[in-house]
Every structure is written in C-alpha cells, then in structure tokens.
C-alpha cells in the first residue's frame, strides 16, 4: 500500500468531473447551433457534415457521461479504501487513477478536436 496526498487525488477527480460537465454543456450548445444551421439550405456535402457532427456529438456526450461515472466510482472506491486501510491506497487504486487521467486527457483531446471541426463547419457556412 502507498501513502499519497489523498486530497490531491480527490481534487483531481473533482476537477476532471467539473471540466467534463463544462464540455457537456458546450456540446449541448453546439448541438443546438448545428440544428439551427441545418434548417438552412445545404449542399449534399454539408448535409453529410451535419450528420457526421450530430453523430459525433451524440457519441461524445455518451463518452463524457461514462467517464464522469467512472471517475465518481473511483472516488467512492478511494474513500472506502481509505477507511478500510487506515488512510492508505493500494497500488492498483493509484494505477486506476492514472488510467482515468489518461482517459480524461484522451477525451479532452477528442472534444477539442470535435469542437474545432464544428467551428470550421460553421465558418464554412458563413463564407
């Protein structure tokens, strides 16, 4: 078992969940903007872009939900483990934390890429 700064791990989890909540709200807003844009006459290629973006928004909203849920479960497990093991965490728990951090970073990268793609699409409609 390893003794680590538990408050730091909990703060990281809370920060990740807060950031994911913000992305969820931003994607919901982007989804609404996309629906507004789709009301205008669009070319076949633009309609394919709309469908692609709608699918990606849906997928990423599910991914955000699943990752937030995994982080929340991890926090609960850490709390339980701390109570049982006198303030210490197992190596496996720290490995899970690191894995969640990697998943979080990957998810954030995908979300930033998707939002960039969406903004390019909106810019192309204005041209």
pLDDT in tens, 39-78: 999 999 999 999 999 999 999 999 999 999 999 999 999 9
Instruction: Write the pLDDT tens digit of every residue in 61-72.
Output: 999 999 999 999
Establish if 41 belongs to a structural domain: yes
Three-class DSSP category at 2: strand
Domain that holds residue 82: 6-126
Establish if 1 belongs to a structural domain: no
Q: How far apart are the first and last CA of the chain?
A: 59
Least Cα distance to 111 among 13, 26, 14 occurs for: 26
In Å, what is the CA distance from 108 to each residue of 10, 21, 38, 61, 67? 19, 12, 26, 12, 11
What does the radius of gyration of the chain's CA atoms come to, in whole angstroms?
A: 19
User: Which CATH number covers residue 46?
Assistant: 1.20.58
Number of domains in the chain: 1
Tell whether the model's pLDDT for residue 112 goes beyond 90: yes
Tell whether the model's pLDDT for residue 114 goes beyond 80: yes
The pTM for the full model equals 0.91
Cβ-contact 16, 104 below 8 angstroms = yes
Establish if 117 belongs to a structural domain: yes
Region 5-30: what's the mean pLDDT?
Answer: 95
Tell whether the model's pLDDT for residue 85 goes beyond 90: no
Q: Residue 6 has what pLDDT? A: 83
Q: Residue 70 has what pLDDT? A: 98
Q: How far apart are the C-alpha atoms of 70 and 76, rounded to whole Å? A: 10
- Residue whose pair of structure tokens reads 């990957």 in the numeric block: 106
């Amino acid at each position: 078992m390893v003794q680590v700064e538990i408050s730091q791990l909990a703060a990281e989890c809370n920060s990740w969940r807060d950031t994911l909540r913000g992305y969820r709200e931003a994607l919901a807003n982007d989804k609404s903007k996309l629906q507004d844009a789709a009301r205008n006459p669009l070319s076949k290629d633009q309609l394919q872009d709309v469908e692609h973006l709608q699918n990606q928004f849906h997928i990423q909203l599910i991914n955000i939900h699943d990752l937030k849920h995994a982080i929340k479960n991890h926090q609960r497990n850490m709390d339980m483990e701390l109570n049982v093991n006198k303030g210490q965490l197992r190596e496996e728990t720290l490995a899970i934390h690191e894995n969640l951090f990697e998943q979080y970073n990957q998810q954030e990268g995908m979300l930033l890429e998707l939002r960039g793609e969406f903004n390019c699409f909106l810019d192309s409609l204005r041209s």
